[in-house]
Structure 1
C-alpha cells in the first residue's frame, strides 16, 4: 500500500476508503483483526472494508457491483455469490485436506495418485506416468513419493496441471477422467451457490453474471476446462453470462472501496 501511494504521488492522509480482499478471511473475527491493524496505519476518518479475495474477484468482473457469482479455480478453488439485496453464499474453498476438488492442486494430486496406483497395480496404466516423471526429471514412480513430501506445497503440485491437460488432449483415459470430474466439481460449486441464492429465479432463466477467474479456467493456457465448465453451467442456467476480467483482482478491491464509500452499500467496519 505504501508503494502504491508513493507511485501515485499521494499520501495516506488523502485516502478515504481501503478495501483489503484477503484469502482465508472467512469470519468476522478474521476481518476485525485486519481492521485493527489497518486502524494503526490510516487516519480515523478512513473507511475500512475487509473481504474474502473472491469478493474482489467478483467485483473485478462487475465493475464493483456485488451481484452474481464468481468461480475461481487456480491453485485452490471457490465459488462465491451475492444477490442484489446483499445475501451471500459460498461453496468449496475448504482447502486440500477437506477436498479442494476442481482446483489445480486437486487435478495434479489426482494425477500423482493415479501414477502410484498404476505402479502398484491398483489402477490402469496411464501416460501421466512418463509425462510427469519426465517433467520432474525423475526415473521411477517410487521417486514421486520423495518429491511430493519434500515440499508438499499446493502451488508446487498444481504446477503439474498443464501436463495433465496435455495427456488428456493426447487421448489418455485416466487424464481425461480426472479433468471430466474436475469440470463437474467446479460446475457443482457454482450450482450450489446459485441454488442457495436463487440467482436464476424460479424458472431458472433469470440472467446473472458469472465471473470466471484462475489459471485452471484460462482456456488458452489450460485446454478447454473453462469452456467445459461454462457449458455445464449454461445447460442448467441459460441466463448465466460469463465474464472474464481483463485486469488483476486488485482493481476489483479498489472498485469495491470506491463504490462502498460513494454509495455506502457495504457494512462499514
Structure 2
C-alpha cells in the first residue's frame, strides 16, 4: 500500500493529512502557525508537531510515505525557499516538495491544471497558473508592500473604526457595542487607555464582527468589507492580465476564512464584478474543502499516479478539518 502526505501551513494553523492509494484518510494532525515569516521557530515546531501527529495516528514512518507535499504560507521568494528547504528536509521524508499555499488551494478548488486563486485568511495573497504553466503571484507581503486585508488587517480596521466613531472622525457604528462586548470593556475610553498603555494588539477574531455588523445594516462595517472585496478584485485582475488569460475559461478560487466563512455577499460581489470585467468566461468559485486536500492531490500527482475520480470526490468531503 502506498501513502501520501499533504501539509497546509498557514498563518494561524497547520494541517496534515495522510491518505492511502485508495483515497482513504489514515492520519490527521494539526498545530498552530506554519508561516516562517511570522515566527520561524514556532513554524518549524508546529509543522513537525502536525506531521508527527498524523504519522502517529496512521501508524506509519516517514520512509513509508510515497510523497509529501508542503503548501506553506510565506513560501513566496527564493530567499524563503533557502530557509524552508533545510527546515522541511529535517523532517526526514525521502521524497517531498514545497510550494506556496496558494497552489494547494488552487488545486483543491479546480479540476483544471490552470486558474487563479485568491486567499484571504489571516493575510491575503493571490496567484495564478496559465495553461502554459507560467506562474505569477500578486501580493502576500503585507500592507507596506501593496496588500490590503485578511483577518490581520480587518481586525485592526474594526478596532480603529470604534475609536474613530468615539472621537468623532467616523459615523456611529454597531461595531462599538460588538467590539466592547467581545473584549470585555465597559466603555471606549477604558478600551482605548488599556490598549494604549499596554501596547495591546486587537485579536484576529474581531474581523468576524464586521460581518455581524454589516448583516445588521451597519455602513461602516459594510464599507470595510467592500474595500476588501474591491482589493481582492484588483488582485485577480492583475494576475489575469499578467498571465494573458482574459479570453480563457477558468476558475477563480476563493480560499481563506474571510471569503469562505463570512456571512452575506459583502465581499464576493466585488470580486465577481472585477473578474467579469476582464475575463467574462471565468467562474468565481468558493473553496468548499480544506486546502490540505489539494496538497494531498499534488503529492499523488507528483509521483505520476492518479486517484480514481470517485476518490477525488470522496476527499472533497473534507470541508472541515476534524481530528476525529
Q: Given the superposition, is the C-alpha separation of residues 116 and 151 from structure 1 closer, same or farther in structure 2, using an over 3 Å criterion? A: closer
- The reply on whether 1:20 has 2:76 as its aligned counterpart is no
Superposition RMSD on alpha carbons, in Å? Answer: 2.5
Deviation, structure 1 residue 100: 4.0
Q: Given the superposition, is the C-alpha separation of residues 141 and 48 from structure 1 closer, same or farther in structure 2, using an over 3 Å criterion? A: same
Partner of 1:195: 241
Partners of 1:127 and 1:100 in 2: CA distance: 26
Q: Secondary structure at the match of 1:19?
A: strand
Q: Given the superposition, is the C-alpha separation of residues 27 and 234 from structure 1 closer, same or farther in structure 2, using an over 3 Å criterion? A: closer
Q: Given the superposition, is the C-alpha separation of residues 137 and 39 from structure 1 closer, same or farther in structure 2, using an over 3 Å criterion? A: closer
**Contact 1:216 / 1:225 at 8 angstroms: preserved in 2?**
no
Matches within 5 A, 1:32-43: 32-42=82-92
Matches within 5 A, 1:115-126: 115-126=162-173
Bigger drift between 30-39 and 50-59 goes to 30-39
Q: 2:118 aligns with which of 51, 62, 71?
A: 71
Partner of 2:201: 152
Q: Secondary structure at the match of 2:303?
A: helix
Deviation, structure 1 residue 226: 4.7
Q: Given the superposition, is the C-alpha separation of residues 5 and 166 from structure 1 closer, same or farther in structure 2, using an over 3 Å criterion? A: closer
Partners of 1:134 and 1:100 in 2: CA distance: 30
Partners of 2:152 and 2:91 in 1: CA distance: 36
Q: Which has the higher contact order (CA 8 A, sep 6+)?
A: 1
Partner of 2:149: 102
Partner of 2:96: 48
TM-score scaled by length of structure 1: 0.82
Deviation, structure 1 residue 138: 1.2
Partners of 1:120 and 1:164 in 2: CA distance: 20
Partner of 1:250: 292
Partner of 2:109: 61
Deviation, structure 1 residue 71: 0.9
Deviation, structure 1 residue 30: 2.2
Partner of 1:266: none
Partner of 1:162: 208
**Contact 2:259 / 2:286 at 8 angstroms: preserved in 1?**
no
TM-score scaled by length of structure 2: 0.69
Q: 2:217 aligns with which of 160, 166, 171?
A: 171
For 1:50-81, what per-residue CA distance to the aligned partner results, in whole angstroms no more than 9, with x for missing partners?
A: 11111111111135x64101111112111111
Partner of 2:269: 228
Partner of 1:213: 255
Partner of 1:129: 176
Matches within 5 A, 1:249-268: 249-262=291-304
Aligned length: 252
Matches within 5 A, 1:82-93: 82-93=129-140
**Contact 2:179 / 2:209 at 8 angstroms: preserved in 1?**
yes
Q: Given the superposition, is the C-alpha separation of residues 118 and 98 from structure 1 closer, same or farther in structure 2, using an over 3 Å criterion? A: farther
Partners of 1:162 and 1:39 in 2: CA distance: 37
Gaps of 5+ in 2: 1-50, 306-324
**Contact 1:19 / 1:256 at 8 angstroms: preserved in 2?**
yes
Partners of 1:133 and 1:41 in 2: CA distance: 44
Deviation, structure 1 residue 242: 2.8
